[in-house]
């Protein structure tokens, strides 16, 4: 939706004394839907536009008129189409952010490998679980990616679960019960999806 129309919707709502919640209730929608219209993230469908025009006592032309040229509207539509085709996974990072994630991940992997070899020769038991040190690189990289993409679903929780499972198994001899940690994976990502919808 055009930002000018979105601003007009905000102005008309306030002028008519409605809160977002009250307007949403009148339209039978969620407050989030009204909020998205007013932030130009989505557009009301035809039926809702008609109801809004009646509610605010204005014509559809007045409700939808803008000072934007046809060329600007075309550009807005093209941008909207390209952003609609992207999923949350496609939220792009800058080249600098990608480089940071790559450098940090590779550095931690390299340090983990060196520690694994050194500690393996010093303590025999390290050969059993020490390889899990190398999981820290991708895990820290995934945390950085989640920060840059501004969504916790990008955190590689399965890597942590493998690490916890290994530690519990090797040190606590709890292989038979430690598998429960893997149940956190679907729970975590389910909450991430719920968070994403709000």
Tell me: do 70 and 14 sit in the same domain: yes
Tell me: do 14 and 111 sit in the same domain: no
Q: Which domain holds residue 127?
A: 92-197
Within 10 A of 128 (CB to CB), how many other CB atoms are there? Answer: 12
Q: Return mean pLDDT, the chain.
A: 80
How many structural domains comprise the chain? 2
Name the residue among 156, 157, 161, 131 with its Cα closest to residue 142.
156
Tell me: do 129 and 32 sit in the same domain: no
Q: What is the mean pLDDT of residues 4-29?
A: 88
Q: pLDDT tens, 61-102?
A: 888 876 654 565 566 556 655 554 444 444 567 888 888 888
Tell me: do 114 and 180 sit in the same domain: yes
The whole-angstrom separation of Cα 10 and Cα 128 is: 62
Which residues neighbour 20 within 8 Å (Cβ) at sequence distance 6 or greater? 13, 31, 34, 35, 38
């Amino acid at each position: 939706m055009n930002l000018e129309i979105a601003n007009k919707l905000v102005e008309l709502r306030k002028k008519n004394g409605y809160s977002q919640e009250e307007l949403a209730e009148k339209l039978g929608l969620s407050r989030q839907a009204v909020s998205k219209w007013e932030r130009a993230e989505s557009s009301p469908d035809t039926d809702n536009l008609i109801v809004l025009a009646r509610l605010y006592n204005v014509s559809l032309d007045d409700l939808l008129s803008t000072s934007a040229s046809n060329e600007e509207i075309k550009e807005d539509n093209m941008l909207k189409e390209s952003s609609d085709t992207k999923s949350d996974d496609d939220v792009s990072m800058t080249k600098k952010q990608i480089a940071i994630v790559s450098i940090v991940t590779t550095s931690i992997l390299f340090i983990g490998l060196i520690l694994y070899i050194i500690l393996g020769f010093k303590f025999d038991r390290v050969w059993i679980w020490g390889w899990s040190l190398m999981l820290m690189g991708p895990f820290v990289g995934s945390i950085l990616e989640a920060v840059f993409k501004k969504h916790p679903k990008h955190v590689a929780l399965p890597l942590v679960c493998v690490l916890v499972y290994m530690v519990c198994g090797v040190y606590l001899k709890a292989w038979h019960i430690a598998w429960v940690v893997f149940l956190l994976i679907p729970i975590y990502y389910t909450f991430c999806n719920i968070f994403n919808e709000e």
